[in-house]
Amino acid sequence: MRKTILINENWKFVKENVGAAEVFTAPSDKVNIPHTWNAIDGQDGGNDYYRGTCWYGKTFSKPELNNGDQVYLEFRGANSTAEVWVNNHKLCTHDGGYSAFRINITDALQEENELVVSVDNGPNDRVYPQMADFTFYGGIYRDVYMVIVPNSHFDMDYFGGNGFQITSEINEKTAVVSLKSYVSGEAEAVRYTISGVGNVQVPVIDGVASGSLIVSEVHLWDGVEDPYLYQAKAELIKNGHVIDQVDSRFGCRTFSFDKDKGFFLNGRSYPLRGVSRHQDRIGVGNAITKEMMQEDMELIKEIGANTIRLAHYQHDQYFYDLCDQYGMIVWAEIPYITEHMPNGRENTISQMKELIVQNFNHPSIICWGLSNEISVTGVTDDLMENHKILNDLAHKMDHTRPTTMAHAFMLEIDEPLVFLPDVMSYNLYYGWYLGNLTDNDVFFDDFHKKYPDKIIGLAEYGADANPRLQTAMPEKGDYTEQYQCVYHEHLIQMSAERPYLWSTHVWNMFDFAADGRDEGGKNGINQKGLVTFDRKYKKDAFFLYKANWSKEPFVHLCGRNYIERHEEETEVKVYSNYDTVELYNNGELVEKQSGEKVFTFKLKLQGNHRIEVKAGNCSDEITICKVPEPNKAYQLEGREVINWFDEPDMNCPEGYYSIKDVMADIRKSPEAAKILDDMIIYAKSKRGDVAKKVKQSKSMAKAMNAMTVEALIKQAGGSIPKSMVVEVNKSLNRVKKVNDIVVELKEENYSI
């Protein structure tokens, strides 16, 4: 029988490209897996974290083996290219930092062994991801196992899978469960058992054993309400003895998509409303523990989501298992992202094969994501061909799940790429990076009107919020908790009014590291999370979703961090899934309100206030007070100016440009356009690599052209310092207006 041994402890780590021969002699640290070398520098901004080759080493004695036993090493994740040596023999190279891989080391074994692994997260043009809005932490950051199997065994060599594939087909109350396994070496039969159902023994023919079992009165895997899992085992029989065994859970469910009504699970309408997740955490990067994964899942459960987009790469098996257990519907994807690389085709294919083979049996997964925002730097023939290959591959490997893609919001809705996958989705950021909140509504209305037969969803949407930043007047680009709420209140309503959206996923459940970012009062962090990077603080918007999605009764008072308030009359906002809430000020009832999810109260401010809200058996409390001056700590540095033209040296002379002009007018003068472009390049540099690369579509260029420079500056959220705004305005004031030229719309790089 096989033996699986976790070998995470006691590795040597050399943070230098010393070469295989030097690993045990070079100065090193002692580390345990999971490990990354970018836990700190990958999260502190500057886009300067160490990307290159580092080395790991471990010694071990030869395990006790029976005749013919095969010894494998199994790496669950090493980012992003790993090479494995045993006793100076290089045994494998694996490209792809988020999928599991195995290597047979039997022939290289001696009594005492030196295992050496190089891991490289340096830039190249063939392994995805290379360009994306998250940190590519280097390291062996998921578990490592030694697996000893008999000479004949369930296949260990096919794209990291366990050689056991389960598919179920449901007919009314009965499920036909097809069981298939792949066998290496000689064996006569495989016995399949489903706990509580029965077993069947089938012959191994040409290395494959196919059988089926009927489950009558099938207990469906029914999403978050009843995620019932069956337990299956496959036993390999040789000479009448069981010599190997693999186990897998599976679930029986059906699902479908309707162009008007969205997603259906087990025949009933089941609108998918949920969040996206990146795996990393503050202080530990991607080297997270099972307890951390469990905590993430508990938070996602608490918010009441029924779906997770596991972005932008393969997640840990443990997390997919949790999704099965908690009944989450999952969008799984490979890190084919942002920038298509002509040399990366092979890597997209192998990563897609790994994704499907390793995750085939998870009932939670309902689609395979081909790519994310891949059109950002332009669409080429090679990109189209690459996607067709992946799409066909996914269909060939799995006829039970559709393919999907997350399109960038600057991809015009008529582009052929939009329609390449089976079901479509867009990442939209109207009301944050660009445009107004209602542009999201218009976008989907246009799409649905033009393509009523297509299945469309919202794969990403979100707005950054730093819990330190608080305001009575929320505005796009201010990074306050309050604007994040305004944004999500609108988006929730927008999607509720459009039941055809097959899924919506908030970007993102948790703040995450993007070392190239420097905005919103934090360096190196994307703050679109509903929960902070350390998982310790639930932002107000978290409770908005909880009110909409969760059945667990609760009431929440917003503005917990907005303690010192300057306004005469303040707004007190409450999120709850009760329909009646009562607000108390210093123990006195202010008002009892009935409504749905969002309740707002007005309160005159004077001195100190202990505010309490009660709903059913639940209550919440905050303390706030009136202060004579606005608290500067609540404002984003660089965004303190409310009206630019109240500031000294800010003018708007007749016949000359100023920041009050719309961009289309400024672009009529090459001299003024240059001033604008320089400012935009500067602002973009604060939003990381992806922002620098974005290529605008014509429709977005049109939207941008209609904006004033002043509006653009606000949207940039304080990333353009006051002194620069004054200088830009002064420079524009020196340029005479050009009135009679029509500027041609170009796909220029001028969004922020």
| In the complex, minimum distance from the CB of residue 78 to ligand GCU, in angstroms, rounded to a whole number | 22
Judge contact between 578 and 606, C-beta under 8 A: no
| In the complex, minimum distance from the CB of residue 86 to ligand GCU, in angstroms, rounded to a whole number | 37
| Among positions 143, 324, 373, 540, the unique one binding ligand GCU when judged by CB under 6 A | 373
* Residue with smaller CB distance to ligand GCU, 348 or 361: 348
Within 13 Å and on the Cβ side, how many CA atoms surround 81? Answer: 17
Q: What is the CA radius of gyration of the chain?
A: 28
- 3-class DSSP state for residue 649? coil
* Residue with smaller CB distance to ligand GCU, 120 or 460: 460
How, if at all, do strands 272-277 and 503-506 pair?
parallel
Per-residue x/- marks for ligand GCU, 434-463, CB under 6 A?
Answer: --------------------------x---
Q: Could you write out the DSSP letters of every residue in 116-162?
A: EEEEE----SSSS-SS-SS----EE-S-EEEEEE-SSEE---STT--
How, if at all, do strands 608-615 and 618-626 pair?
antiparallel
Among 279, 288, 287, CA closest to 35: 287
| In the complex, minimum distance from the CB of residue 312 to ligand GCU, in angstroms, rounded to a whole number | 6
Question: Which amino acid makes up residue 581?
Answer: V
Residue keyed to tokens 């990958």 = 42
| Among positions 70, 348, 361, 372, the unique one binding ligand GCU when judged by CB under 6 A | 372
Cβ burial, residue 670 (10 Å; 0-12/13-18/19+) = exposed
| Among positions 133, 333, 354, 710, the unique one binding ligand GCU when judged by CB under 6 A | 133
Judge contact between 308 and 542, C-beta under 8 A: no
Rounded-to-integer distance, Cα 28 and Cα 286, Å: 21
| Among positions 56, 336, 507, 578, the unique one binding ligand GCU when judged by CB under 6 A | 507
- 3-class DSSP state for residue 426? strand
* Residue with smaller CB distance to ligand GCU, 253 or 517: 517
| Among positions 248, 286, 526, 696, the unique one binding ligand GCU when judged by CB under 6 A | 526
CA separation (Å) from 343 to 21, 81, 347, 576? Answer: 30, 15, 8, 51
* Residue with smaller CB distance to ligand GCU, 351 or 526: 526
| In the complex, minimum distance from the CB of residue 330 to ligand GCU, in angstroms, rounded to a whole number | 17
Rounded-to-integer distance, Cα 137 and Cα 257, Å: 36
Element (H, E) at 299: helix 290-303
Kindly give, in sequence order, each residue whose CB lies less than 8 Å from that of residue 329, ignoring residues fewer than 6 positions away: 223, 255, 263, 265, 270, 272, 274, 306, 307, 308, 364, 366, 503
| In the complex, minimum distance from the CB of residue 526 to ligand GCU, in angstroms, rounded to a whole number | 5
Dihedral of alpha carbons 548, 550, 556, 559, sign:
negative
Whether 373 is catalytic is: yes
Residue 280 interacts with ligand GCU (CB under 6 A)? no
* Residue with smaller CB distance to ligand GCU, 142 or 312: 312
Question: Which amino acid makes up residue 486?
Answer: V
Per-residue x/- marks for ligand GCU, 113-132, CB under 6 A?
Answer: -------------------x
| In the complex, minimum distance from the CB of residue 504 to ligand GCU, in angstroms, rounded to a whole number | 14
Dihedral of alpha carbons 129, 130, 132, 135, sign:
positive
- Judged by CB under 6 A, how many residues of this single chain contact ligand GCU? 10
CA separation (Å) from 416 to 275, 437, 681? Answer: 28, 27, 31
Question: What is the token pair recorded at 612?
Answer: 């309490």
Question: Which amino acid makes up residue 358?
Answer: Q
| In the complex, minimum distance from the CB of residue 428 to ligand GCU, in angstroms, rounded to a whole number | 9
Q: Using the 8-state DSSP alphabet, how is residue 743 labeled? A: P
Question: Which amino acid makes up residue 245?
Answer: Q
| Beta strand residue intervals within 382-534, DSSP E | 403-406, 424-427, 456-461, 503-506, 512-519, 522-526
* Residue with smaller CB distance to ligand GCU, 54 or 514: 514
* Residue with smaller CB distance to ligand GCU, 281 or 312: 312
Among 280, 642, 284, 299, CA closest to 471: 642
> Nearest residue by C-beta to ligand GCU?
133
Among 451, 452, 251, CA closest to 366: 251
* Residue with smaller CB distance to ligand GCU, 160 or 520: 520
| Among positions 70, 427, 466, 635, the unique one binding ligand GCU when judged by CB under 6 A | 427
| In the complex, minimum distance from the CB of residue 427 to ligand GCU, in angstroms, rounded to a whole number | 4
How, if at all, do strands 81-86 and 255-258 pair?
unpaired
| In the complex, minimum distance from the CB of residue 425 to ligand GCU, in angstroms, rounded to a whole number | 11
Within 13 Å and on the Cβ side, how many CA atoms surround 602? Answer: 4
Judge contact between 61 and 113, C-beta under 8 A: yes
| Among positions 153, 253, 277, 528, the unique one binding ligand GCU when judged by CB under 6 A | 528
| In the complex, minimum distance from the CB of residue 541 to ligand GCU, in angstroms, rounded to a whole number | 15
* Residue with smaller CB distance to ligand GCU, 507 or 549: 507
- 3-class DSSP state for residue 300? helix
Which is the catalytic residue, given 83, 373, 489, 519?
373
* Residue with smaller CB distance to ligand GCU, 224 or 437: 437
| In the complex, minimum distance from the CB of residue 123 to ligand GCU, in angstroms, rounded to a whole number | 18
| In the complex, minimum distance from the CB of residue 433 to ligand GCU, in angstroms, rounded to a whole number | 7
Active site amino acids: 373
User: Which residues of the shown chain bind ligand GCU in the complex (CB under 6 A)?
Assistant: 132-133, 312, 372-373, 427, 460, 507, 526, 528
